[in-house]
Structure 1
Amino acid sequence: MAEKYSTLQKDFFRESGKWLSTFQIWKKCINPNLHFIYVLRMAQKYRKTPGFNTFWRIVLRHYQIKYGFQIYPETEIGEGFYLGHWGSLVINPQTVIGKNCNIAQGVTIGRQNRGKNEGSPVIGNEVWIGANAVIVGAVTIGNNVLIVPNSYVNFDVPSNSVVIGNPAKIIPADNATREYINRKV
């Protein structure tokens, strides 16, 4: 059933639990998180279309500054993307993020420019990233992973895990994101 809906509709479904028309989506853009996701998805959609690319990049830049989200059209983000709160969020453009991921405020997902983990993170499906967490380097975060607020992650995390602390520790958990990630698409 969800296959007939656009990526944007799937993102907005995560917030409301309802399939929305284009007009209903536009009405929900009063919410800064949803408004930013709308603009980001438009910038991604028209990334390779001359004219529209420039327009949406300018609009995106305006809202990056206004809302404090530093996410770029080049960032690969799966459907069902959810921003829990607005303000101060940095995601490197070379990061890959899977489906049904939640990211809270204050999160940094960054590139490491030297050393054994040189590169950007790859984040799996159904990952919940808590406030002020930091994920850096060419690390892989598996599916069904909960990263507790204020955790620092610079190593691979297997699927079905909870990550907690600084230095972070991995705790295996089959239902790591149950009740944290709702309305999956």
Structure 2
Amino acid sequence: MFDNIRNDLAAHGNDPFQQGFWVLVVYRFGRWRYRIKPRVIRIPFSLLYKILFKLIQILCGVELPCEAIIGRNFRIDHFGAIVISGYTTFGENCVIRQGVTIGLKDVAHPVAPSIGNNVDIGAGAKILGDITIGNNVDIGANAVVLTDVPDNSIAVGVPARILPKKERS
């Protein structure tokens, strides 16, 4: 847990006052409490997690349940109006911004997106359904992504158009 928190702090510019960092500390705590095996000992930690989770929702406007799986160096660049489904998985080095929703397309089919490494998600983007976002992908601001996005691509628009990234010379 503490290695991940150190990485999260570094991803937030070593600034412990960034609200995105606070969200990740509560998230990491929520994941850690599952390691406590005797249920009777875990119960007070679970109660503390639920209180902290609600406090983070109110103060930061971010819903990141500990059931979601996120990799190292995850960064919440701007906080507020961020909702991430507990069914979502993230790779490493991902960035999200305000107004992002990542979740279910249909409540009857509880599968959320699987997001690769080095994914940069713009403000207001919506990523929904049983889809895969590849590695090294940029999701444009306010894009609505409902289909798979291959590696090294950009997704822009409503609904999102998938474009290959141009190589820098």
Q: TM-score range by the shorter chain?
A: 0.7 to 0.9
Counterpart of 1:77 (choices 53, 70, 82) is: 70
Which residue identity is paired with 1:106?
Answer: G
Say which SS state the counterpart of residue 33 (structure 1) adopts.
Answer: helix
CA gap of 1:79–1:175, structure 2 versus 1, over 3 A, is farther
Please tell me whether the aligned partners of residues 152 and 167 of structure 1 are also in contact (alpha carbons under 8 angstroms).
yes
Counterpart of 2:165 (choices 139, 150, 173) is: 173
Report the CA distance between 1:165 and its aligned residue. Answer: 0.7
Which residue identity is paired with 1:127?
Answer: V
Aligned length: 161
Confirm or deny that 1:140 pairs with 2:132. yes
Report the CA distance between 1:118 and its aligned residue. Answer: 6.3
Which residue identity is paired with 2:83?
Answer: V
Say which SS state the counterpart of residue 163 (structure 1) adopts.
Answer: strand
CA gap of 1:120–1:29, structure 2 versus 1, over 3 A, is same
Report the CA distance between 1:38 and its aligned residue. Answer: 1.4
Other-structure match for 2:99: 106
TM-score (norm 1): 0.80
Percent of residue pairs bearing the same amino acid type: 35
Which residue identity is paired with 2:153?
Answer: S
Report the CA distance between 1:53 and its aligned residue. Answer: 2.3
Other-structure match for 1:22: none
TM-score (norm 2): 0.87
Other-structure match for 1:34: 21
Report the CA distance between 1:30 and its aligned residue. Answer: 2.3
Q: Which aligned pairs between 1:117-132 and structure 2 lie closer than 5 A?
A: 119-132=111-124
Following the alignment from structure 1 to structure 2, what is the Cα–Cα distance between the partners of residues 175 and 57? 45
Following the alignment from structure 2 to structure 1, what is the Cα–Cα distance between the partners of residues 152 and 117? 11
CA gap of 1:15–1:30, structure 2 versus 1, over 3 A, is closer
Confirm or deny that 1:149 pairs with 2:141. yes
Counterpart of 2:6 (choices 6, 9, 22) is: 9
Please tell me whether the aligned partners of residues 160 and 175 of structure 1 are also in contact (alpha carbons under 8 angstroms).
no
Greater relative contact order (Cα < 8 A, sep 6+): 1
Could you say what the CA RMSD is over the residues aligned between the two structures, in angstroms? 2.0
Please tell me whether the aligned partners of residues 39 and 59 of structure 1 are also in contact (alpha carbons under 8 angstroms).
yes
- Return 5+ residue gaps in structure 2 as ranges: 37-41
Please tell me whether the aligned partners of residues 144 and 175 of structure 1 are also in contact (alpha carbons under 8 angstroms).
no
Other-structure match for 1:97: 90
Q: Higher mean Cα deviation, 85-94 or 62-71?
A: 62-71
